[in-house]
Amino acid sequence: MDIVVVSNRVARLDAEEPMTGGLAAALLPVVRDSGAIWVGSSGRTRDTSVKEPLLEVAALGKGALATVDLPAAHYRGYYEGFSNSALWPALHSRADLVRVEPEDYAAYREVNAYMARALMRFCRNEATMIWVQDYHFLPLGAELRRLGVTQPIGFFLHTPLPGRDMLAAVPHHRELIEAMLAYDLIGFQTVDGQRNFADYLRRELGLTVRGAIVRSRHGETRLGTFPIGIDTALFAERATKAAARPEVSRLRSSLQGAKLVVGVDRIDYSKGLANRLRGFAALLEAQPSFRRAVTLLQVAVPSRSDIPTYRALEHEVATLVGNINGRFGEPDWTPVRYLNKGFSQTTLAGFYRTAGVGLVTPLNDGMNLVAKEYVAAQNPFDPGVLILSEFAGAARELEAALLVNPHDTAAIARALAQALGMSQQERCERWETNMKVLRASPVQLWFSDFVRTLDDQASMALPVVAE
């Protein structure tokens, strides 16, 4: 069966490697090796008077990467507007940040319809399945059905899926969730996401969900939980290699014996950057012996900067870093090294291996692959300690991490002190436990499990009724 994977953002072929984690970096190794066709936005826009989507196709491993210019007139409303100012905050339980301009929803629907037309080029073959990724394309399956596509179509949500009241903050939530039932299979990162979705279908749409199956006017849809993993072996190999990179060896020697704590995130309010910094400051405040003895390297990649909330956050985090460095710093020691740029996956792997503590404190996160990458990058004989928010999907799997509530500043400070003083034996035991989980569930397995379940579901389900 041929597989067409669709996501808004795709890996860039001109970059040596993806610059940070997230969906595009996670998908790259599996798409490359599976022979799938990966379709997504080119990052450029085009005049809407051109009705027919223009695709640019390039080879990608055994498969291909096809990018499409999205319509200029609708792009902002689709990406900055509905996707990232309505859906993203609601999905991350920030209803207070939901903002929608009147034309945003229409733009979102237009871009979904446009992407469906672009995908038709790959739907001529009966033996093709389509796998849609993430919240940018909730109604894409319904648009494809409208165009007569009868092949299996699956959907995977990389973010959390919150409870009914939070979803209801999104204008048009009923229409959107109802449209999602055109998919044969809908996958979530955690059982909570799946449970919340089933609960929404019952309470809001009055549907019956039996086991993991729901029947609607679109036919039958299966719900499932598929926690995404990383290419564990590849990442561990990168980390070993990375030690030789000049930026990694320079980092190591610059520490002058201090221990390194590392954080790597997009600048996003879901990532708990301010909470993390406050936790680090609380450690320096409560236990002065850690001053000079520890340094926090925070890589914070600017993200979605055209949205005012994100720009305000960039400012807030920079101010906080300045305050901490001003207050605790010494002429020869900077508590927080703050970098607003991305690094290649190999360099990041080197940073992770150099750091005795990985500090990952999202307030809400679908999975969080940085947590998994940090573990995979460790030296097995002298591994670092992962401190992980209990609100990341990864906390369900990486149970041997030090789990913290990121709203509890004192708890972050305590976890840091515990991690920095942990015996080698305990570090090794915790690391081995987490590493077993990562070895057993690499991204390759996530991909093949979803594809197999979609194939099974589509072959068992009753025929889909076109609208």
**Interacting residues of 387 by C-beta distance below 8 A, sequence separation 6+:** 357, 358, 359, 360, 361, 401, 402, 404, 412, 415, 416, 419
Nearest distance, CB of residue 270 and ligand G6P, angstroms: 9
The angle, 0 to 180 degrees and rounded to 10, between the axes of the packed helices 191-205 and 173-180 is 110
At CA 191, angle to CA 190 and CA 196, rounded to 5? Answer: 105
Q: Does 41 bind ligand G6P (CB under 6 A)?
A: no
Burial 181-215 (b: 16+ CB within 10 A, else e): bbbbbbbbbbebbbbbbbebbeeeeebebeebebe
Give the residue with the Cβ less far from ligand G6P, 159 or 364: 159
User: Is 158 a known active-site residue?
Assistant: yes
Cβ contact 150:464 at 8 Å: yes
Which residue lies nearer to ligand G6P by CB, 158 or 172? 158
Rounded to the nearest whole angstrom, what is the least distance from the CB of residue 369 to ligand G6P in the complex?
A: 8
Residues 155, 142: contact at Cβ < 8 Å?
no
Q: Which residue number, 298 or 409, has a Cβ lying nearer to ligand G6P?
A: 298
Select the residue interacting with ligand G6P from 145, 304, 372, 430 (CB under 6 A): 304
The answer to whether 39 and 4 are in contact (CB under 8 A) is yes
Does position 303 bind ligand G6P by CB under 6 A? Answer: yes
- Which residue, 158 or 414, has its beta carbon nearer to ligand G6P? 158
Structure token digits, residue 72: 């200029």
Helix ranges (DSSP H) in 271-361: 273-286, 308-328, 345-354
How far is residue 56's CA from residue 260's CA, in Å, rounded to a whole number? 43
Catalytic residue, chosen from 69, 184, 265, 365, is 365
We find the least distance from the C-beta atom of residue 439 to ligand G6P, in angstroms, to be 23
198-206 long-range CB contacts below 8 Å, 24 or more apart?
198/223, 199/163, 199/164, 200/163, 200/164, 200/167, 201/177, 203/164, 204/164, 204/168, 204/173, 204/174, 204/177, 205/174, 205/177, 205/178
Place of tokens 């499932």: 224
Helix axes 345-354, 246-254, angle to 10 degrees: 20
> How many chain residues are in contact with ligand G6P, going by CB under 6 A?
9
Question: Known catalytic residue: 33?
Answer: no
Site string for ligand G6P, 112-151 (x = CB under 6 A): ----------------------x-----------------
Task: Pick one of 67, 151, 159, 378: the residue that binds ligand G6P (CB under 6 A).
Answer: 159
> Which of residues 63 and 160 has its CB atom nearest to ligand G6P in the complex?
160
Burial group, residue 254, by CB count within 10 angstroms (0-12, 13-18, 19+): exposed
Nearest distance, CB of residue 302 and ligand G6P, angstroms: 10
Q: Report residue 399 as tokens.
A: 């149970």
List 74, 92, 158, 172, catalytic entry? 158
Q: Rounded CA gap, 313 and 38, in Å? A: 32
State the Cα–Cα distance between residues 296 and 290, nearest whole angstrom: 12
Please report whether residue 9 would count as binding ligand G6P according to CB under 6 A.
yes
CB of 28 to ligand G6P, least distance (A): 12
Within residues 12-31, the interface with ligand G6P by CB under 6 A covers 22-24
Please classify residue 177 by burial: count the beta carbons closer than 10 Å to its beta carbon, then call 0-12 exposed, 13-18 middle and 19+ buried: buried
In terms of CB distance, is 94 or 430 closer to ligand G6P? 94
- If the CB atoms of residues 12 and 337 are measured against ligand G6P, the closer one turns out to be 12
Q: How near is the Cβ of 39 to ligand G6P at its closest, in Å?
A: 14
| Residue with Cβ nearer ligand G6P (135 or 280) | 135
For the annotated catalytic residues, the residue numbers are 158, 365
- The residues that touch ligand G6P, with contacts defined as CB under 6 A, are 9, 22-24, 134, 158-159, 303-304
